[in-house]
Chain A
Amino acid sequence: MGHALVNVPASVKRGDAFEIKALIAHPMETGFRPGPNGVLLPRNIIQRFTCTYNGVEVFSLTLSPAIAANPYIAFFTVATESGSLTLRWTGDKDFMAEETVPITVTA
């Protein structure tokens, strides 16, 4: 399990775009770097990030080895109804982290 930070507004007006910010601690080891003994360090990256809103995918991202450690992801989505937002990171070495945050949509 990874450790993630998520920031979304607690409530948003229906139809308004709002920002989701997420930061996760992860080394994002490229697989191209030699270790102290000269042998390449095995690749260890997050491969995929998804965000679902009441079970429907609203945003996803495929990550590559060129992305720096501790990826910070920020994006916008539109509020339709109250519910919950689930953010999920998966990657090498069976890495997996998940955060769920509630959102209240007002008229």
Chain B
Amino acid sequence: MTSRRAFLRSAGIAAGALLAPRIVGAQDRARVVVVGGGFAGATCARELRRLNPALSVTLVETNPDFIACPFSNEVIAGLRDLSQQRFGYDAVTRDGVALARGTATSIDPAGRTVTLADGTRLPFDRLVLAPGIDINWEALPGYSPEAAERMPHAWKAGAQTALLRRQLEAMDDGGVVVMSAPPNPFRCPPGPYERASLIAYYLKTRKPKSKLILLDAKDAFSKQRLFQNAWAALYPGLIEWVGLSAGGKVTAVEPASLTFVTDFARHGAAVANVIAPQKAARIAAIAGVADRSGWCPVNPATFESTLQPGIHVIGDAAIMGAMPKSAFAANAQAKVCATAVIARLAGHDAPEPRLINTCYSLVAPDYGISVAGVYRPTNGQLADIAGAGGTSPLDADAAFRAQEAVLAAGWFRTITAEVFG
């Protein structure tokens, strides 16, 4: 390890010296700390080392392994094993990223130090925060970490995913599954509807007398017509979607009786999945980069916090304008951020980025749909470039849908290989 890192460092300086003498100097030994080893953070840490092998990059991550959310809805529906969602950090460290296992508990922006739960102090010249989301427990009366043991959110993959799957398996045929979807913004806008689809697939094949009710705090959602057409074709009468204007907004939950409360009705469930309101993970507020919305405003070209200079925020935690909170987006933002961090360390301006996002969703194992967009900074926000993206056609045949399901699986293999392989 050490000799390899030393080799990379000298190789980096040599290459830098030949190509651009001005980048040699203090900033080559600059220290960048990245908090959070998910799609955003792990990508950014590796990209920083790739762009400048002389940089000291430390990745702080709580968990020994990463458990990916994309495709976790297939795990819930019994179509896939949770172990297929697990990825390690060996390849990340092989790139010369120092891994600090632990939880960042405080950040001193002025003193430029991150402190971990075990007391370790990590000084930085620039900090990248990529901590993902936390459930916003205060935003839903009755919901709490204890309540989530009875009414799982399963919006962070792992034990919650396995719990929801076990509950579905244990449910009697004829039991009603009730799900709730939160108001915008939240992680993975098409995710609740993909989950409803795949649970419906499970019910149709294994519990044909059961039904699913999806209570929604919104009247419109991602790929809505594609989803609703597919539900009518594949699961007629099985999924009941209740939008905001039909009284779908959940105002409280009662875990003892697995009940969802709205302003107009009470819905008892045999299995209750609460996709609760969310906010940037805790460390963002501690660092002073989250605003009153609970999310982190950033410069749309560099992802530097507008509240704390020198700290960049990427992935789900950040306010990215029109760009959705997805693993694909987190990965794209991470690369732009790495370029910007290196430019800023060298005292340069970062180039104006273009970012792409594609979100695949499975409506059934052999039925995929997608939405794509291209984004660029406009008036201080990432805005959608009109006409550059789009969704799957509404009138495609079965072979086309099957092909998109294959592409979805290919996308997951590719991105996880790039980030963790």
Contacts and interface: CB of A to CB of B under 8 A. Distances in A.
Interface of A: 3, 5-7, 21, 23-25, 69-70, 72, 74
B219 A7 contact: no
B356 interface: no
A70 B263 contact: no
A25 B264 contact: no
Task: List the 8 closest A-B pairs by CB distance, nearest first.
Answer: A70-B245, A25-B245, A5-B264, A5-B247, A7-B264, A21-B263, A7-B263, A23-B247
Contact of B246 (A5, A7, A21, A74): A5
B269 interface: no
Given A25-B246, A70-B245, 11 more contacts: A5-B263, A5-B264, A6-B264, A7-B263, A21-B263, A21-B264, A23-B245, A23-B264, A24-B245, A69-B219, A69-B245
Interface of B: 219, 244-247, 263-264
B385 to A, nearest CB: 19
24 contacts: A3-B246, A5-B246, A5-B247, A5-B263, A5-B264, A6-B264, A7-B263, A7-B264, A21-B263, A21-B264, A23-B245, A23-B247, A23-B263, A23-B264, A24-B245, A25-B245, A25-B246, A69-B219, A69-B245, A70-B219, A70-B244, A70-B245, A72-B263, A74-B263
Contacts of B246: 3, 5, 25
Chain B residues touching A, majority SS: loop
A74 to B, nearest CB: 8
Contacts of A25: 245-246
A6 B265 CA distance: 10
A69 to B, nearest CB: 7
A69 B247 CA distance: 13
Contacts of B244: 70
Interface centre among B245, B246, B247 (most CB of A within 10 A): B245
Nearest to A74: B263
A101 to B, nearest CB: 12
Nearest to B263: A21
